[in-house]
Structure 1
């Protein structure tokens, strides 16, 4: 009985973030914000429990300095249900700010919410909200 319980638990954990939403590959032309803005930080994605790759940069808008953006380049991740991009203080999603529900891979730009605290939230997370699972992360550094 104990072996059956352990086996069932293992199967549930391995299948907890099953394919649910199809991520659309995009390859946007670099926006004027990225081309004219100032790069403040950069990070390289590392795997969590799934494969994640690519780079992310924090870009400040040259015309509107209070606006900042995340510029994803060659970003890839496994598909899963309920994936979000978070900014957080660590890879456990401590004091996180939700950026967006993830629906794409490739090269694209996202506006950082005004409430984000980039002085403290130095991790960009790919997070499966439904199962509280870290797909992957990038630590931002200057």
Structure 2
């Protein structure tokens, strides 16, 4: 009985966040102050329940050191109904802060919220809010 329940739970989690919203493929050129900014950390996306790939860099704006950005490169993920980018302390979304609703794939930047504590929140998560499912993650190192 336990084994059946476990298999059912895994199957539900894997199928819960199915395609619903279309993500727009983009190649955005970041501003010069981001391009010339200081790279603080880099991570590569690994899949969890869904396919996720690409890399992400944490960049400090050259002109304003208080502004930080996540620069996604060649980013791809399965589509889902309610995908968000989180910064979190671990892959279970402990101590997370929402960065933005995910609407894009490809190469683009997102501004890090001022409330982020990057000394602790080193995991970039692609998270389906509606079903609390981790699509994939990258650890900033």
Q: Which TM-score applies when normalising by structure 1?
A: 0.90
Larger Rg: 1
For the residues of structure 1 that align with 2:81 and 2:63, how far apart are their CA atoms?
A: 37
Aligned length: 141
Q: Counterparts in 2 of 1:1-142, with a 5 A limit?
A: 12-141=12-141
Runs of 4 or more off by more than 6 Å in structure 1? 4-8
Structure 2 unmatched runs, 5+: none
Contact 1:33 1:59 in 2 (8 A): no
For the residues of structure 2 that align with 1:140 and 1:99, how far apart are their CA atoms?
A: 15
For the residues of structure 1 that align with 2:61 and 2:22, how far apart are their CA atoms?
A: 31
Q: Which TM-score applies when normalising by structure 2?
A: 0.91
For the residues of structure 2 that align with 1:63 and 1:9, how far apart are their CA atoms?
A: 49
